[in-house]
Amino acid sequence: MEKNEIKQLTANQAAGAKLASRKLALLANDQKNKILAAIASVLKKQASEILFQNEIDVEAAKEAKLSEALIDRLTLNENRIEEMIRGVMEVASLEDPIGTIIADWTVPAGMQIQKIRVPLGTICMIYESRPNVTIDATALCLKSGNAVILKGGSEAINTNHALVHAILPAAKEAGLPDGAIQFIGTTDREAVLDLIKLDNLIDLVIARGGEEMVRFIRQNSIVPVLAHGKGLCHTYIDKSAQIDMATKISINAKCQRPGVCNAMETLLVHKDIAQKFLPIVCGLYAKAGTQIRGCEITKKIVPQVIEATEEDWSSEYLDNIISIKVVESIDEAIHHINKYGSGHSEAIITDDKEAAQKFLKEVDAAAVFHNASTRLHDGWVFGFGSELGISTQKLHARGTMGIKEITTTKYIVYGSGQVR
Amino acid sequence: MEKNEIKQLTANQAAGAKLASRKLALLANDQKNKILAAIASVLKKQASEILFQNEIDVEAAKEAKLSEALIDRLTLNENRIEEMIRGVMEVASLEDPIGTIIADWTVPAGMQIQKIRVPLGTICMIYESRPNVTIDATALCLKSGNAVILKGGSEAINTNHALVHAILPAAKEAGLPDGAIQFIGTTDREAVLDLIKLDNLIDLVIARGGEEMVRFIRQNSIVPVLAHGKGLCHTYIDKSAQIDMATKISINAKCQRPGVCNAMETLLVHKDIAQKFLPIVCGLYAKAGTQIRGCEITKKIVPQVIEATEEDWSSEYLDNIISIKVVESIDEAIHHINKYGSGHSEAIITDDKEAAQKFLKEVDAAAVFHNASTRLHDGWVFGFGSELGISTQKLHARGTMGIKEITTTKYIVYGSGQVR
């Protein structure tokens, strides 16, 4: 397609979504749940066609020699389709956030004011590789009364196409307003640039993907963006930590799934516990095949480690690599985290309640943990049902983003003739 | 100053604010109130010096033939200084939002999770003419534990300079961390462009001024922006409205202060009440010197009105001008508002509860009023104390913005060794 054709098509789809959003905002919870049930049911029925299309994408990805990690994220199987279906049903079972009265008061002038929760309108989801996002995002947007525009990665185009074309007729039959789910079928990157300029039609762009993609969208979007940002997470082992707990959490936070945003990248260790703790934890890291890059003091205690450079403190490895630094004090640990961290998830391991309080208060991050693994920063673990990602920004949504984060509010004022 | 010098100076000031914000976040409410009291007290003492500097600005504005309205907003007098002082004390008396526990629950894994309110960090206020914003914004930022960077309009430079240099020493003596209030002393517009690119140092830009200035900041800022946007507000007179109430509110919403964002620009009138209502309200508008631009039907009923053009429906006059349209139905009124309105403040006047509910539900705006004037959309009226402006965007803050709107949240997780 020509650039102009793409622009026109994209704008038409966004306009269709905007129009549908007015109707979606008024749907009753029962109606929305009926649509979600229809989506879940048709995914089950059409699983084999979806898996067939997914194989085409996976074969192409293998031929293009894309990374193992990406191919893993791209690949569907019956289990993963089951998970999607469970996710849709889970979203259906959530309380309808729309119409909730958040505050209700009467002012001296005699008017009653209510602050109520309403949908944002039209949400554009821009994401990479994982096809489950197509279904997760659709379910969360519909439940919260928003229209959704789906722009997935080109590597998953056949799978995403199959998913959307499976659910669309079923959802429509169950009462979905026309145009409420828009699928951007072109793999041309131009379409992304077009979408993020449509601030009169799109209320929110959610960017979920690699650092480069997210930065590009942040810098070029006129539409407000919520970004699933990078996670450069730390665990600080205080001098009053229990060695067993510190070891278990340090291994879990790094090794359980190193490629995700809430995995730990840097371990900070108080100097008074380093001599005892580091040989134990480094031994276990070595067993787990983790590459260790340590500061000078770490290297003195465990000579086998590679020497860390300044660059290591600001690296999100997303890999089975850890950097370790011995610190003089809890203040140095907090300072290091606030300087190098990405404001995602940070943990302190200690039995000293005062030290814990200081850390929880002074560390500037979306989630701070006392005696628990940063890997637990997750919508499912927190009890929010599905999640749209984890926001490292401070405005509107911070930390794990669920259904409430794609709503806004509205003041409703009941008067009896008041003027100013 | 050279461009590079301005850039360096601006970046240094922002870095100073960032550093101070870490300390501000930890200040106790008593300490913050002590600082605010010191500010209030010194403003009283130095009123005459402030008024002297203000006269210099006002004289210059008159010589430059700036508009009457702007000169009015720029001018201080003893009353207005008293108002500023009352504002500071009012902010001091507000409950400290920082540290408030918004949610508190325990998850099946056994961890206790708290969502608590924390400051945003560093807030950059970019505004025009009204010098009271210098003090209002400073008070709200300090109370909420944020550092503030003040960039006022060049027309108010001497007044703002005098205000900041009055309060700074007093606030410091009362315990304000060094660097917590930064005043951009240059009137070079280059400084604005520099500020809105400092996303690693500034957490939020608040833009409060003319439409052009706000649009420039929105389109060029990498830092998230909250904008005090334009207000194209409507009042819809339903067929079941009481004529008296409809008249009183229609006159108030347009004429009480036509130059502000929550004033009405377009009056929509149901066809069944137009014959009776329009002659009365148009007579009163004529008395008030309001220019009336009506649709074809309005002109048939009240021949004296000027004929409205398509452009009128999307005009924020900010002046003593009104456009009037007769509509076939409440649906046409809602459609007109959702098409032309700016999502600010919208009102329906009716005794029909069903019609009211339909309007309140289907109109997409920050605040919708039943039987009250749009002029009442205001932080003071709503009981929030001071306000930072009225947001017409949907993310983070919608409608009148008070102290909570310049905070964010943080999850605090208490574990006992949990891993994933």
Residue A419, in any domain of the structure? no
Q: Are residues A199 and A291 in the same domain?
A: no
Locate B95 and state its tokens.
């409950």
Place of tokens 């400051």: B119
Residue A345, in any domain of the structure? yes
What average pLDDT score do residues B92-121 get? 96
**Mean pLDDT, chain B, integer:** 95
Q: Are residues A145 and A267 in the same domain?
A: no
Contact at CB, A224 and B393, closer than 8 angstroms: yes
B362 interaction partners in chain A (CB closer than 8 Å): 22, 26
Q: Are residues A251 and A347 in the same domain?
A: yes
Q: Are residues B370 and B399 in the same domain?
A: no
Query: In this complex, which of B105, B368, B383 lies closest to A412 when CB atoms are compared?
Result: B368
Shortest distance between the Cα of A419 and any Cα of chain B, in A, equals: 5
Confidence of residue B387 (pLDDT cuts 50, 70, 90): confident
Q: Which amino acid is at A420?
A: R
Shortest distance between the Cα of A63 and any Cα of chain B, in A, equals: 34
pLDDT of amino acid B264: 98
Q: Are residues B317 and B208 in the same domain?
A: no
Q: What is the pLDDT of residues B300-322, one digit of tens each?
A: 999 999 999 999 999 999 899 99
Contact at CB, B413 and A369, closer than 8 angstroms: yes
Residue A387, in any domain of the structure? no
Place of tokens 């030290």: A355
Q: What is the pLDDT of residues B19-37, one digit of tens each?
A: 999 999 999 999 999 999 9
Contact at CB, A367 and B411, closer than 8 angstroms: yes
Confidence of residue B146 (pLDDT cuts 50, 70, 90): very high
Q: What percentage of residues in chain A have a pLDDT greater than 70? A: 100
Shortest distance between the Cα of B395 and any Cα of chain A, in A, equals: 6
Q: Are residues B376 and B404 in the same domain?
A: no
Assess whether pLDDT exceeds 90 at residue A189.
Answer: no
pLDDT of amino acid A238: 98
Q: Cβ distance A17 to A148 under 8 Å?
A: yes
Confidence of residue B69 (pLDDT cuts 50, 70, 90): confident
Query: In this complex, which of B370, B396, B400 lies closest to A396 when CB atoms are compared?
Result: B396
Q: What is the pLDDT of residues B184-206, one digit of tens each?
A: 998 888 899 999 999 989 999 99
Q: What is the pLDDT of residues A245-258, one digit of tens each?
A: 999 999 999 999 99
Shortest distance between the Cα of A14 and any Cα of chain B, in A, equals: 16
pLDDT of amino acid B212: 87
Contact at CB, A376 and B419, closer than 8 angstroms: yes
Contact at CB, B218 and A222, closer than 8 angstroms: yes
pLDDT of amino acid B68: 84
pLDDT of amino acid B70: 86
Shortest distance between the Cα of A162 and any Cα of chain B, in A, equals: 32
B48: number of Cβ within 10 Å: 10
Contact at CB, A371 and B109, closer than 8 angstroms: no
Which of B364, B374, B401, B407 to probe the A interface (max A CBs under 10 A)?
A: B364
Contact at CB, B222 and A218, closer than 8 angstroms: yes
Assess whether pLDDT exceeds 90 at residue B93.
Answer: yes
Contact at CB, B419 and A249, closer than 8 angstroms: yes
Contact at CB, A415 and B369, closer than 8 angstroms: yes
Contact at CB, B372 and A419, closer than 8 angstroms: yes
Q: Which residues, other chains included, contact A23 with Cβ-Cβ below 8 Å and sequence gap of 6+?
A: A177, A180
Q: Are residues B275 and B179 in the same domain?
A: no
Query: B157: which DSSP letter?
Result: H
pLDDT of amino acid A179: 97
Assess whether pLDDT exceeds 80 at residue B128.
Answer: yes
What average pLDDT score do residues A184-198 get? 92
Could you write out the three-class secondary structure of B250-262? Answer: HHHHHHCCCCCCC
Could you give the CA distance from residue B203 to residue B226 in angstroms, rounded to a whole number? 11
Shortest distance between the Cα of A343 and any Cα of chain B, in A, equals: 10
Place of tokens 């398509």: B310
Q: What is the pLDDT of residues A69-116, one digit of tens each?
A: 789 889 999 999 999 999 999 999 999 999 999 999 999 999 999 999
Q: Find the range with the poorest average confidence among A270-274, B2-6, B10-14.
A: B2-6
What Cα–Cα distance (Å) separates residue A53 from each residue in A57, A58, A84, B290?
7, 9, 16, 66
Q: Are residues A238 and A128 in the same domain?
A: no
**Which CATH number goes with the domain that contains A36?**
3.40.605.10
Nearest chain A alpha carbon to B25: A362
Contact at CB, B224 and A367, closer than 8 angstroms: no
B120 interaction partners in chain A (CB closer than 8 Å): 394-395
Query: How far, in whole angstroms, is CA B143 from its chain's centroid?
Result: 18
A203 interaction partners in chain B (CB closer than 8 Å): 394-395
Query: A312: which DSSP letter?
Result: G
What average pLDDT score do residues B138-148 get? 97
Q: Are residues B241 and B348 in the same domain?
A: yes
Beta strands in A275-337 (DSSP E): 291-294, 306-307, 321-327
Shortest distance between the Cα of A350 and any Cα of chain B, in A, equals: 10
Shortest distance between the Cα of A300 and any Cα of chain B, in A, equals: 29
Backbone angles phi, psi at B234, to 5 degrees: -120, 155
pLDDT of amino acid B48: 97
Helix (H, G, I), strand (E, B) or coil at B292: strand
Contact at CB, B361 and A107, closer than 8 angstroms: no
A22 interaction partners in chain B (CB closer than 8 Å): 338, 362, 364
Residue B111, in any domain of the structure? yes
Residue B150's closest CA among B199, B200, B202, B76?
A: B202
Helix (H, G, I), strand (E, B) or coil at A62: helix
Query: In this complex, which of A26, A107, A373 lies closest to B383 when CB atoms are compared?
Result: A107
Residue B386, in any domain of the structure? no
How many Cα neighbours within 13 Å face the side chain of A56? 13
Q: Which amino acid is at A258?
A: P
Q: Over the Cα atoms of chain A, what is R_g?
A: 24
B417 interaction partners in chain A (CB closer than 8 Å): 242, 245, 248-249, 371-372
What average pLDDT score do residues B325-338 get? 98
Residue B125, in any domain of the structure? yes
Nearest chain B alpha carbon to A418: B372
Q: Which residues, other chains included, contact B238 with Cβ-Cβ below 8 Å and sequence gap of 6+?
A: B270, B273, B330, B333, B348, B349, B350, B352, B355, B356, B359
Locate A1 and state its tokens.
């397609």
Backbone angles phi, psi at B204, to 5 degrees: -155, 135
Could you give the CA distance from residue A282 to residue A301 in angstroms, rounded to a whole number? 10
Confidence of residue A299 (pLDDT cuts 50, 70, 90): very high
The residue range of the domain holding B159 is 3-229+393-414
Q: Are residues A218 and A270 in the same domain?
A: no
Shortest distance between the Cα of A23 and any Cα of chain B, in A, equals: 9
Residue A386, in any domain of the structure? no
Backbone angles phi, psi at A127, to 5 degrees: -145, 170
Contact at CB, A370 and B412, closer than 8 angstroms: yes
Residue A295, in any domain of the structure? yes
Q: Are residues B199 and B296 in the same domain?
A: no
What average pLDDT score do residues B45-67 get? 96
Q: What is the pLDDT of residues A320-359, one digit of tens each?
A: 999 999 999 999 999 999 999 999 999 999 999 999 999 9
Query: In this complex, which of B121, B375, B394 lies closest to A420 when CB atoms are compared?
Result: B375
What total of structural domains would you count in chain A?
2
Query: In this complex, which of B249, B362, B411 lies closest to A366 when CB atoms are compared?
Result: B411
Shortest distance between the Cα of A76 and any Cα of chain B, in A, equals: 23
Residue A353 burial (C-beta neighbours within 10 Å; 0-12, 13-18, 19+): exposed
Assess whether pLDDT exceeds 90 at residue B167.
Answer: yes
ipTM confidence score:
0.90
pLDDT of amino acid A2: 83
Residue B395's closest CA among A217, A145, A202, A120?
A: A120
Q: What percentage of residues in chain B have a pLDDT greater than 70? A: 100
Query: In this complex, which of B107, B252, B418 lies closest to A373 when CB atoms are compared?
Result: B418
Confidence of residue B181 (pLDDT cuts 50, 70, 90): very high
Q: Cβ distance A236 to A348 under 8 Å?
A: yes
Could you give the CA distance from residue B383 to residue B36 in angstroms, rounded to a whole number? 20
Q: Are residues B305 and B407 in the same domain?
A: no
**Which CATH number goes with the domain that contains A281?**
3.40.309.10
Query: In this complex, which of B111, B362, B408 lies closest to A394 when CB atoms are compared?
Result: B408
pLDDT of amino acid A187: 86
pLDDT of amino acid B290: 97
Residue B210 burial (C-beta neighbours within 10 Å; 0-12, 13-18, 19+): middle
Query: How far, in whole angstroms, is CA A378 from its chain's centroid?
Result: 8
What Cα–Cα distance (Å) separates residue B84 from each residue in B87, B89, B91, B375?
5, 9, 11, 21
Q: Cβ distance B180 to B20 under 8 Å?
A: yes
Helix (H, G, I), strand (E, B) or coil at B340: helix
When mean pLDDT is compared over A211-215, A395-399, B127-131, B354-358, the highest value belongs to: B354-358
Place of tokens 């279906």: A85
Which of B100, B349, B360, B376 to probe the A interface (max A CBs under 10 A)?
A: B376
Assess whether pLDDT exceeds 80 at residue B386.
Answer: no
Which of A116, A336, A360, A408 to probe the B interface (max B CBs under 10 A)?
A: A408
